[in-house]
Amino acid sequence: MGCAGVEFVLIWFWLRRRSAATVRGVWIGAAASVALVAMSMAVVTPRERITAVCRELGRAVDEGDMDAVSARIASDFSAEELDREELLRRVTLALTRVRVDQVRLQRLEIEVLDEKRAAATFDASCNVRTAEGFAGALPSRWKLAFRRERERWVVTRIESIPTPPLQIKRVGDWLR
């Protein structure tokens, strides 16, 4: 928006003066705007990457895509009594018993601790359907710990933050 505003001011000056300098200003402004947009698209911060991973995991749960979930869980994952294999087994089992629809992530708070570690805290909500029908909307809050492996961020730990009305404190309890 700022680039567009500057470009409009440059065009306004060109329309008033019609000089070679103002024409150059308009072209330089247009080129700078294109360069800034391209740079913004090319440079992705760790915070943006982690946000994308959280949204990707939400979509994978919504679609029941366990391969996508598995790809983002670290080999040394731990959450209370769950290791990586047990977490994936229990998530798979849970998704065969219930259908999770319309996963929405809100209030994402990303904290980059250093070049290799980060954390994300967010609210998640979804609709849950069972074989008997619609079970209801399910609100939850989560904290995920991340580690960067090569160019990928993977989840090393998941914590459930109790939220009303369920107040569930353990990840394992969500997967019963």
Residue 35 neighbours by CB under 8 Å, 6+ apart: none
pLDDT at residue 158, as a whole number: 93
- The pair of three-digit structure tokens given for residue 113, joined into one six-digit string: 């601790």
pLDDT at residue 53, as a whole number: 96
Q: Are residues 59 and 142 in the same domain?
A: yes
Nearest by Cα to 83 from 91, 72, 75, 71: 75
Tell me what percent of the residues of the chain surpass a pLDDT of 90.
Answer: 47
Q: Are residues 83 and 130 in the same domain?
A: yes
pLDDT at residue 49, as a whole number: 93
Tell me what percent of the residues of the chain surpass a pLDDT of 70.
Answer: 100
Q: What is the mean pLDDT of residues 69-92?
A: 91
pLDDT at residue 119, as a whole number: 97
Show the domain range for 54: 46-174
Q: What is the mean pLDDT of residues 147-171?
A: 89
Q: What is the pLDDT of residues 104-127, one digit of tens each?
A: 999 999 999 999 999 999 999 998
Residue 41 neighbours by CB under 8 Å, 6+ apart: none
Q: What is the CATH number of the domain that holds 150?
A: 3.10.450.50
Residues 54 and 83: their CA atoms lie apart, in Å, by: 19
> What global pTM score does this model have?
0.75
Nearest by Cα to 73 from 11, 144, 150: 144
Q: What is the mean pLDDT of residues 23-42?
A: 82
pLDDT at residue 72, as a whole number: 96
DSSP state of 61: H
Task: Tell whether the model's pLDDT for residue 41 goes beyond 80.
Answer: no
Q: Phi and psi for 31 in degrees, rounded to 5?
A: -65, -40
Q: Are residues 33 and 54 in the same domain?
A: no
Q: Are residues 68 and 122 in the same domain?
A: yes
The count of other CB atoms within 10 Å of the CB of residue 81 is: 9
Residue 174 neighbours by CB under 8 Å, 6+ apart: 94, 140, 160, 168
First CA to last CA across the chain, in angstroms?
Answer: 48
Q: Parallel, antiparallel, or unpaired for β 82-83 and 73-79?
A: antiparallel
* Residue carrying the six token digits 């769950």: 82
Task: Tell whether the model's pLDDT for residue 133 goes beyond 80.
Answer: no
Q: Are residues 36 and 51 in the same domain?
A: no
Task: Tell whether the model's pLDDT for residue 62 goes beyond 80.
Answer: yes
Work out how many domains the chain is built from and give that number. Answer: 2
pLDDT at residue 69, as a whole number: 94
Q: Are residues 19 and 106 in the same domain?
A: no
